[in-house]
């Protein structure tokens, strides 16, 4: 046996080698297992798949507890592209009852980031939406054979009434912009969000709180069970139900009356600011914006020239016409320009320094209440003339600013902030506006005198007019109008209980209310004189460049304990007394006296006969155009005078109004006569 | 003869033999195989259906059966006369080579490899047993009277013995198993091969890794990998002068020269003078070489010349690595190396196994998630987990404590085998024992290095742990023949 001690020492090199290797490996293991936490997190995200569970969306009731909007489940086939391996397309197509080409097309659309803006390989992408229940059942059975695929359940909205589409709004799938803007990080691709109406404005309450389910997922993406027996799962919290302040039956009634017309009805409970009905016409069936055909229907509604998506009740800015006169009376009284005994002359109109604004036959001189009752143009023009030229203000700028501030305090010129999206602010001009429009020092009271009678530059929404009516009913304050009475378990925002007092002494409102009562008893709104209901009202007949006058009615009832304040605005329908007054009267009666077959059939009859007449009017207009008798449709038609037979106020003259410069942006007609 | 005396005193002999067996090694072996069985059970039971560990339809149940049979095989091997191994070493080797060649032609294609022999429902992998045969043949060769590694001619036969099975196994397309035989270079080293060869081999591997791994970043205008390698070369020159040439004066002067130059370069670049890395190294290193060429005549000429040659070859090798890598290796080989070196992240493709394996191990933390609680393991995130990637089950479920324990057990076993080797009275015993140690070193280094992402993916099992009868039996036979040979040493006293 040869023993070489030099060579034996080499055991240290060989042993040393493996010791060094083991030390290096231990160091690496220390780094992997102890120093670095990232692997623990990756293992967790590997093994756990967090599935979001969607809460059911809050349902919507009317003020009397009638269910208006509810939910129905809908099923979509979704997939996470990253987790999808090769799969049996033949079986899939067979179950989905799709041809291979159609399936491929759906697949292409889903995976094309240009078409599917929310595309991401790691989140669930919808492939087929709104599966029927049979397909859903079949798919559920074989889904385990298709890793990466899943069925997502979501809800679709169902409507019990074909009404109130403008108030209810709709829901739609979120887009990339919504997700980006969402500060709560609530939305994920495929989620739904309120798009219009209270679905949008109460989205945060309606949507609820998402829950989550933590599932265990194996390497192939197959779900192996629940993590920790579901103890860490979070149940979703259902969205809050809404109770609207809308009376859905009154809303339906109003929509029936507005059939075939363009315009709006706003009814408010004065004491609470609760909107009882908010009718716009033309409108649409809310179910059109649900489900598969939503996109198609939506673009049809958008391109419809009658703009059914445009909520005229809150978005349209119209000249308020004679409904504006009460505000002027209030300002003049508050400013001491007039008192109860002040009378202004009006023989055929307001005639001052060569300017004439026409009026109609009534006694002269005339004081405030009769002026409201007869809707005298001269009275309010003189009032504004004397106010703006009053030396006590020290100039036009100051006096006009005082005037404007009163208007703003009455809810004009700014949004009222109703709980609906898209409200218009209307328009109340200020001193600078006229400087820009006419020129500094080039204008005076006479140049703008038509604003005293709600024409000229003044614009307001039907909601603002109804709000004025409610303010008069309340004798000096209003509560921001709102369409949701309460959010279940939450109540209501403080902004909808707060009283906004105008800058006018409440006592003066009694005079105005008295004048409006006179108008109903013996003035322009005799058609609204409902026995026992003490209706107060004011008509408006608004000239406009779009054709026949707009017919307006503003009122409330009963006089001393008002339950309802209303504004009816019907575009191009003629005198206020002819269309808006009887229409408003029926709404008041329907609300105050409750439902009855008699009033329903009366409303149907009235509405139908109006539609027939309207058809004849159009024919006549057409005929006259054809025969060359007239080259435009006149702003007032003899045909429309057939309506409201009890209130035929003759037109006296059509003076040229020189002081007001014509401008294409102005709604003001050059015709100086204003009736109402 | 001892043989007949054994027969006569069979009982007495057996008792003496059992007393002589290295029970410490047997104990480590038993701990490892049982831990292996538990790991396989953990790696293969699904979370939904908990089957019994002894169910013969499961991997764990089968492995337990293999373990039982292994114990029988091991015990039988202890009973066979040690001289039979020595006497039949060459015939065993020859038969193994024939079997390997036959396998190439008759084996079915299993994942691209032709290394399995099928006997009905039962199949074995001859390559796992060829290691033992090669170790026996090599031991037999070295124990031949008068055999010594001196001069290159003497290397032909031992290298041939090693390369013959490598060739066969490569033809079976089992690259990993073939590479194992290169670990026998340790045996050659122990038996007299110039240590410089081993050193140069390790240097080459290190350079290769460094150059590729740090090719991306630049320092002083040259790739960081080249910068590190050139610095290493300077360090190696100094170390070789001091340790290998034992020339303290040359070593000291060169060290001082390097340090002065480095400080000068550092100072200049601090002052804003841009110095190119190559310009620096290829000024300093050639200067030191010229100094050494002059100085060697006062010293050990051969050894200093070797040092100089080493430095020059190292530099040439460094530059050729990129050329070889880009133009000689096939794309899939480049890929594997890139992934192992962390240059490329291909987490879905070739890097998937290693990445998931690292996640499994890394998520284990200090004490692990507990037996059968590993999510990566239970949910099948690591492919091949019960075979080549079994170590990550330990990592995930037993944590750093578990991995450390397993590594230390293996380290103890290997060091024990080296100790056994050195206490052998015969060259045959010693060489065989070193073969066992080398094979274990290679398997441990490559398998665990691969699982923790330090070494390219080379599919070889972790001894005693990985699932598979062939692998377990192969290692059992390898180890128990050693134990039988070792048990003889006490008999010398009686002779």
The pLDDT of residue B331: 78
Sheet holding A564-570, edge to edge: A274-281, A263-269, A564-570, A550-557, A536-542
pLDDT single digits (tens) B405-433: 999 999 999 999 999 999 998 999 999 99
Do A61 and A127 fall into the same domain?
Answer: yes
Give the structural domain span for A534. 248-291+298-625+633-647
The pLDDT of residue A547: 81
Tell whether B189 lies on the interface with A, counting CB pairs under 8 A: yes
Is position A359 within any domain? Answer: yes
String of DSSP letters for A122-186: TS-EEEEEEE-HHHHHHHHHHGGGSTTEEEEEEEEEEESSS--HHHH--EEE--HHHHHH-TT--
B39 contacts B444 by C-beta, under 8 angstroms: no
| Confidence bin at A227 (pLDDT 50/70/90) | confident
Per-residue pLDDT, averaged over A656-668, amounts to 31
Is the per-residue pLDDT at A8 higher than 80?
A: yes
pLDDT single digits (tens) B228-247: 899 999 998 998 888 888 88
| Ranges A199-213, A381-395, B10-24: which has the least confidence | B10-24
Q: Looking at CA atoms only, how far is residue A221 from chain B in angstroms?
A: 10
- List the single best residue of A11, A16, A25 to mutate versus B (max B Cβ within 10 A): A25
The pLDDT of residue B142: 93
My answer on whether omega of the bond before A562 falls inside 30° of 0, hence cis, is no
Q: Which of A447, A412, A454 has the alpha carbon at shortest distance from A431?
A: A447
Q: Which stretch, A132-136, A386-390, A629-633, B325-329, has highest mean pLDDT?
A: A386-390
Which of A26, A36, A220 lies nearest to residue B407, judging by beta carbons? A26
Residue A29's closest chain B neighbor by CA? B400
Is position A667 within any domain? Answer: no
Query: Between chains, do B363 and A34 touch, taking CB under 8 Å as contact?
Result: no
Per-residue pLDDT, averaged over B191-206, amounts to 86
Domain locations along chain B: 19-193+343-494, 216-331
CA A42/CA A532 separation, integer angstroms: 77
| Distance (Å) of CA B148 to CA B139, B155, B157, B188 | 12, 9, 11, 10
CA B384/CA B486 separation, integer angstroms: 36
Number of domains into which chain A is organized: 2
Query: Between chains, do A25 and B365 touch, taking CB under 8 Å as contact?
Result: no
Q: Looking at CA atoms only, how far is residue A38 from chain B in angstroms?
A: 8
Q: Which secondary-structure segment (H or E) carries B190? A: helix B185-190
Query: Between chains, do A14 and B426 touch, taking CB under 8 Å as contact?
Result: no
| Confidence bin at A661 (pLDDT 50/70/90) | very low
Is the per-residue pLDDT at A635 higher than 60?
A: no
Decide which of B170 and A654 is more confident. Answer: B170
The encoded tokens of residue A122 equal 């790691």
The pLDDT of residue B488: 74
Per-residue pLDDT, averaged over B142-155, amounts to 87
Do A170 and A262 fall into the same domain?
Answer: no
A668 contacts A660 by C-beta, under 8 angstroms: yes
The pLDDT of residue A673: 37
The pLDDT of residue B13: 66
Supply the pTM of this predicted model.
0.66
Inter-chain Cβ pairs, chain A and chain B, closer than 8 A: 135
pLDDT above 70: percentage of residues in chain B: 92
Q: Looking at CA atoms only, how far is residue A13 from chain B in angstroms?
A: 9
Contacts of A98 (CB under 8 A, 6+ apart): A106, A128
* Residues of A whose CB is below 8 A from B356: 46, 219
Is position A19 within any domain? Answer: no
Bridge partners (DSSP) of residue A567 are A266, A554
- List the single best residue of B379, B429, B442 to mutate versus A (max A Cβ within 10 A): B379
Query: Between chains, do A44 and B365 touch, taking CB under 8 Å as contact?
Result: no
Mean pLDDT of chain A: 85
Q: Looking at CA atoms only, how far is residue B394 from chain A in angstroms?
A: 12
B443 contacts B176 by C-beta, under 8 angstroms: no
Query: Between chains, do A216 and B427 touch, taking CB under 8 Å as contact?
Result: no
pLDDT above 90: percentage of residues in chain A: 51
Is the per-residue pLDDT at A211 higher than 60?
A: yes
What three-state secondary structure class fits B263? helix
Do A404 and A461 fall into the same domain?
Answer: yes
The pLDDT of residue A324: 94
Query: Between chains, do B376 and A217 touch, taking CB under 8 Å as contact?
Result: no
| Confidence bin at B46 (pLDDT 50/70/90) | low
pLDDT single digits (tens) A137-162: 888 888 888 888 888 877 788 999 99
Do A496 and A409 fall into the same domain?
Answer: yes
Is position A41 within any domain? Answer: no
Do A506 and A485 fall into the same domain?
Answer: yes
Q: What is the Cα Rg of chain A in Å? A: 35
pLDDT single digits (tens) A451-501: 999 998 999 999 999 999 999 999 999 999 999 999 998 989 999 999 999
The pLDDT of residue A496: 94
Do A226 and A369 fall into the same domain?
Answer: no
**CATH number of residue A212's parent domain:** 3.90.1310.10
pLDDT single digits (tens) B242-262: 888 888 888 898 999 999 999
pLDDT single digits (tens) A10-49: 999 899 999 999 999 999 999 999 998 888 888 888 888 8
Within 10 angstroms of residue A598's Cβ, the number of other Cβ atoms is 9
Note whether ipTM > 0.90 here: no
Is position A676 within any domain? Answer: no
Do A132 and A216 fall into the same domain?
Answer: yes
The pLDDT of residue B344: 63
The pLDDT of residue B346: 57
pLDDT single digits (tens) B84-98: 999 999 999 999 999
The pLDDT of residue A180: 87
| Confidence bin at A676 (pLDDT 50/70/90) | very low
The pLDDT of residue A125: 84
The encoded tokens of residue A238 equal 């259902």
Tell whether A1 lies on the interface with B, counting CB pairs under 8 A: yes
Is the per-residue pLDDT at A267 higher than 70?
A: yes
Decide which of A120 and B476 is more confident. Answer: B476
**CATH number of residue A548's parent domain:** 3.40.710.10
Residue with tokens 């039979």: B84
pLDDT single digits (tens) A411-433: 999 999 999 999 999 999 999 99
Q: Which stretch, A77-91, A639-653, B62-76, has highest mean pLDDT?
A: B62-76
The encoded tokens of residue B253 equal 């002067």
How many Å separate Cα A220 from the centre of its chain?
49
Per-residue pLDDT, averaged over A396-403, amounts to 94
Tell whether B403 lies on the interface with A, counting CB pairs under 8 A: yes
pLDDT above 70: percentage of residues in chain A: 90
Sign of CA dihedral B138, B139, B140, B143: positive
The pLDDT of residue A674: 38
B371 contacts B336 by C-beta, under 8 angstroms: no
The pLDDT of residue A404: 95
Q: Looking at CA atoms only, how far is residue B74 from chain A in angstroms?
A: 26
Residue ending a domain, among A181, A211, A244, is: A244
Q: What is the Cα Rg of chain B in Å? A: 26
Q: Looking at CA atoms only, how far is residue A83 from chain B in angstroms?
A: 12
Q: Which of A287, A268, A289 has the alpha carbon at shortest distance from A279?
A: A268
């Amino acid at each position: 046996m040869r023993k070489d001690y030099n060579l034996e020492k080499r055991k240290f090199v060989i042993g040393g080698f493996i010791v060094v290797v083991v030390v290096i490996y231990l160091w690496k293991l220390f780094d992997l297992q102890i120093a670095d936490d990232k692997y623990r997190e990756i293992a967790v995200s590997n093994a756990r798949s967090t599935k979001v569970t969607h809460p059911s969306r809050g349902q919507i009731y009317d003020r009397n507890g009638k269910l208006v909007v509810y939910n129905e489940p809908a099923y979509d086939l979704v997939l996470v592209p990253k987790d999808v391996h090769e799969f049996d397309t033949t079986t899939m197509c067979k179950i989905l009852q799709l041809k291979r080409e159609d399936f491929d097309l759906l697949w292409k659309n889903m995976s094309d980031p240009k078409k599917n803006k929310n595309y991401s390989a790691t989140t669930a992408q919808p492939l087929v939406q709104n599966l029927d229940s049979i397909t859903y059942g079949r798919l559920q059975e074989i889904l385990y054979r298709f890793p990466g695929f899943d069925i997502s359940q979501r809800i679709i909205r169902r409507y019990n009434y074909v009404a109130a589409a403008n108030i209810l709004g709709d829901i739609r799938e979120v887009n990339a912009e919504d997700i980006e803007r969402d500060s709560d990080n609530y939305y994920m691709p495929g989620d739904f969000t309120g798009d219009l109406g209270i679905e949008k404005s109460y989205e945060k309450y309606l949507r609820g709180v998402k829950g989550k389910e933590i599932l265990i997922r194996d390497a192939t993406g197959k779900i192996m069970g629940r993590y920790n027996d579901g103890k860490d799962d979070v149940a979703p919290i259902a969205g809050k139900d809404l109770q609207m302040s809308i009376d859905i039956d009154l809303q339906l009634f109003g929509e029936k009356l507005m059939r075939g017309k363009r315009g709006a009805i706003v009814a408010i409970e004065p004491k609470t600011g609760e909107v009882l009905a908010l009718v716009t016409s033309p409108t649409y069936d809310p179910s059109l914006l649900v489900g598969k055909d939503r996109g198609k229907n939506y673009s049809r509604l958008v391109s419809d020239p009658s703009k059914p998506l445009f909520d005229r009740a809150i978005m349209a800015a119209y000249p308020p016409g004679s409904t504006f006169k009460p505000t002027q009376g209030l300002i003049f009284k508050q400013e001491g320009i007039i008192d109860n005994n002040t009378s202004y002359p009006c023989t055929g109109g307001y005639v001052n320094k060569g300017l004439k604004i026409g009026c109609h036959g009534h006694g002269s001189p005339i004081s405030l209440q009769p002026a409201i009752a007869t809707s005298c143009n001269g009275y309010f023009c003189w009032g504004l003339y004397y106010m703006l030229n009053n030396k006590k203000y020290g100039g036009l700028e100051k006096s006009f600013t005082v005037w404007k501030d009163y208007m703003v305090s009455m809810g004009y010129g700014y949004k009222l902030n109703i709980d609906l999206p898209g409200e218009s602010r209307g328009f109340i001009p200020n001193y600078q506006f006229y400087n820009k429009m006419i020129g500094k020092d080039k204008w005076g009271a006479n140049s703008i005198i038509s604003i005293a009678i709600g024409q000229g530059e003044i614009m307001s929404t039907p909601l603002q007019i109804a709000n004025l009516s409610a303010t008069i009913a309340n004798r000096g304050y209003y509560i921001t109008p709102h369409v949701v009475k309460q959010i279940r378990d939450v109540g209501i925002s403080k902004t909808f209980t707060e009283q906004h007092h105008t800058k006018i002494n409440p006592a003066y409102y009694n005079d105005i209310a008295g004048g409006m009562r006179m108008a109903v008893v013996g003035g322009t709104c005799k058609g609204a004189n409902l026995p026992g209901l003490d209706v107060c009202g004011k008509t408006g007949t608004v000239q406009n460049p779009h054709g026949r006058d707009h017919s307006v009615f503003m009122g409330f009832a009963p006089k001393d304990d008002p339950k309802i304040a209303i504004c009816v605005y019907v575009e191009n329908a003629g005198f206020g007394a002819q269309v808006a007054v009887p229409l408003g009267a029926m709404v008041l009666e329907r609300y105050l006296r409750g439902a009855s077959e008699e009033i329903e059939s009366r409303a149907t009859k009235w509405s139908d006969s109006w539609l027939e007449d309207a058809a004849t009017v159009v024919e006549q207009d057409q005929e006259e155009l054809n025969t060359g008798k007239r080259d435009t449709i006149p702003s007032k038609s003899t045909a429309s005078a057939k309506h409201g037979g009890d209130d035929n106020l003759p037109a006296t003259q059509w003076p040229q109004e020189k002081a007001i410069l014509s401008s294409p942006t102005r709604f003001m007609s050059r015709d100086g006569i204003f009736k109402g | 003869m001892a043989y007949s005396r054994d027969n006569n005193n069979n009982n007495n002999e057996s008792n003496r033999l059992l007393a002589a067996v290295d029970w410490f090694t047997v104990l480590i072996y038993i701990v490892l195989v049982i831990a292996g069985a538990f790991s396989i059970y953990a790696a293969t039971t699904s979370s939904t259906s908990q089957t019994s560990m002894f169910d013969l339809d499961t991997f764990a149940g089968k492995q337990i059966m293999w373990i039982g049979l292994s114990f029988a095989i091991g015990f039988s091997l202890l009973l066979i006369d040690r001289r039979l191994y020595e006497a039949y070493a060459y015939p065993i080797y020859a038969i193994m080579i024939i079997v390997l060649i036959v396998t190439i032609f008759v084996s079915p294609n299993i994942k691209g490899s032709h290394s399995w022999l099928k006997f009905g429902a039962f199949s074995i992998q001859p390559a796992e047993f060829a290691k033992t045969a090669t170790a026996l043949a090599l031991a037999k060769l070295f124990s031949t009277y008068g055999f010594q590694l001196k001069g290159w001619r003497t290397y032909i036969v031992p290298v041939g013995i090693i390369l013959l099975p490598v060739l066969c196994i490569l033809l079976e397309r089992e690259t990993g198993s073939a590479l194992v035989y290169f670990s026998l270079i340790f045996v050659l080293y122990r038996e007299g091969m110039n240590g410089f060869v081993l050193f140069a081999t390790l240097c080459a591997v290190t350079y290769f890794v460094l150059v590729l791994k740090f090719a991306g970043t630049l320092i002083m205008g040259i790739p960081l990998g080249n910068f590190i390698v050139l610095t290493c070369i300077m360090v190696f020159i100094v170390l070789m002068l001091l340790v290998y040439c034992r020339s303290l004066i040359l070593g000291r002067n060169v060290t001082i020269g390097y340090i002065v130059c480095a400080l000068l370069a550092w100072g200049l670049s601090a002052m804003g003078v841009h110095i190119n890395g190559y310009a620096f190294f290829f000024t300093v290193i050639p200067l030191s070489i010229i100094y050494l060429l002059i100085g060697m005549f006062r010293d050990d000429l051969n050894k200093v010349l070797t040092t100089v040659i080493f430095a020059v070859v190292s530099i040439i090798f460094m530059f050729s690595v990129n050329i070889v890598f880009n133009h000689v290796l096939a794309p899939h080989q480049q890929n594997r190396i890139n992934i192992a070196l962390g240059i490329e992240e291909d987490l879905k493709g070739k890097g998937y196994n290693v990445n998931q394996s690292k996640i499994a191990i890394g998520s284990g933390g200090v004490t692990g998630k507990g037996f059968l609680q590993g999510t990566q393991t239970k949910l099948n995130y690591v492919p091949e987990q019960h075979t080549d990637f079994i170590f990550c089950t330990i990592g995930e479920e037993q944590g750093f404590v578990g991995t450390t324990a397993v590594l230390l057990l293996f380290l103890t076993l290997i060091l024990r085998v080296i100790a056994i080797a050195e206490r052998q009275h015969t060259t045959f015993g010693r060489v065989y024992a070193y073969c066992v140690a080398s094979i274990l070193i290679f398997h441990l280094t490559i398998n665990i290095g691969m699982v923790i992402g330090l070494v390219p993916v080379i599919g070889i099992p972790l001894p005693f742990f990985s699932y598979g009868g062939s692998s377990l039996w192969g290692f059992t036979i390898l180890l128990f023949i050693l134990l039988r040979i070792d048990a003889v040493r006490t008999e010398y006293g009686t002779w």
